[in-house]
């Protein structure tokens, strides 16, 4: 994004319930042939995120011990995305193998009052079903951009989950 600031702006913290009821949210599900426990191993692995969520270029755990799996409510990380976008995140929920959620605490992406994600996992006979809700509270021109781009964004997020399915099927 031309002119994207390197300076991060604080975001409003949200709750898990707010993610479920956000004014702008995308919810997609995928059937995985891996166990819920294995899925959470992948979600805890910073190096795995860019392999399935192609908007992400790098994830860095910023809480001590998180890179070794010591993750819980309050754990933080920094996510680097295409276009120079950076988001600092804090975990609101970490309940393997059932659910996790996080929200931005700061970002350099313009027009984001708040942003959060919720991952809910249900065991199935052949592995598990992941339901991913991505929620945002856009401001200014971002409101129109998100509204106009909604179909493409929704398809992109569904594609990310298909990539996650392929990644988790590898072992």
What single string gives the DSSP state of each residue in 111-147? TEEEEEEEEEEEEETTEEEEEEEEEEEE-THHHHHHH
Provide Rg for the chain, Cα atoms.
Answer: 15
Residue 108 has pLDDT above 80, yes or no: yes
Q: Report the pLDDT value the prediction gives residue 22, as an integer from 0 to 100.
A: 95
133/2: higher pLDDT: 133
Strand ranges for the chain from DSSP E: 9-10, 24-32, 56-61, 76-81, 86-95, 99-107, 112-124, 127-138
Three-state DSSP state, 3? coil
Residue 164 has pLDDT above 50, yes or no: yes
- Tens-place pLDDT, residues 114-127: 999 999 999 999 99
- Could you tell me the two tokens for 145? 């951009």
b (16+ CB within 10 A) / e for 137-149: bbeeebeeebeee
Q: Across all residues in the chain, what is the average pLDDT?
A: 95
Angle of the 36-44 helix axis to the 141-169 helix axis, nearest 10:
120
Residue 85 has pLDDT above 60, yes or no: yes
Residue 23 has pLDDT above 50, yes or no: yes
- Could you tell me the two tokens for 120? 């809910």
Residue 1 has pLDDT above 50, yes or no: no
- Tens-place pLDDT, residues 53-78: 999 999 999 999 999 999 999 999 99
| Rounded to 5°, angle at Cα 166 from 147 and 103 | 45
CA 92 remoteness from chain centre: 12
Q: Report the pLDDT value the prediction gives residue 171, as an integer from 0 to 100.
A: 66
16/149: higher pLDDT: 16
Three-state DSSP state, 49? helix
Domain 9-169 fold is: Alpha-D-Glucose-1,6-Bisphosphate; Chain A, domain 4 (3.30.530)
Q: What is the mean pLDDT of residues 24-28?
A: 96
Q: What is the mean pLDDT of residues 17-36?
A: 97
């Amino acid at each position: 994004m031309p002119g994207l600031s390197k300076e991060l702006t604080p975001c409003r913290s949200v709750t898990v319930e707010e993610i479920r009821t956000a004014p702008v949210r995308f919810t997609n599900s995928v059937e995985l042939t891996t166990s819920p426990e294995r899925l959470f191993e992948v979600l805890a692995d910073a190096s795995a995120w860019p392999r399935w969520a192609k908007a992400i270029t790098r994830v860095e755990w910023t809480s001590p011990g998180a890179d070794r799996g010591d993750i819980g409510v309050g754990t933080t990380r920094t996510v680097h995305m295409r276009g120079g976008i950076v988001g600092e995140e804090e975990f609101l929920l970490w309940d393997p193998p059932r659910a996790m959620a996080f929200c931005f605490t700061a970002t350099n992406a313009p027009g984001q009052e708040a942003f959060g994600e919720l991952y809910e996992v249900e065991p199935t006979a052949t592995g598990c079903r992941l339901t991913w809700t991505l929620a945002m509270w856009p401001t200014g021109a971002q409101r129109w951009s998100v509204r106009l781009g909604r179909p493409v964004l929704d398809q992109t997020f569904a594609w990310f989950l298909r990539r996650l399915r392929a990644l988790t099927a590898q072992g």
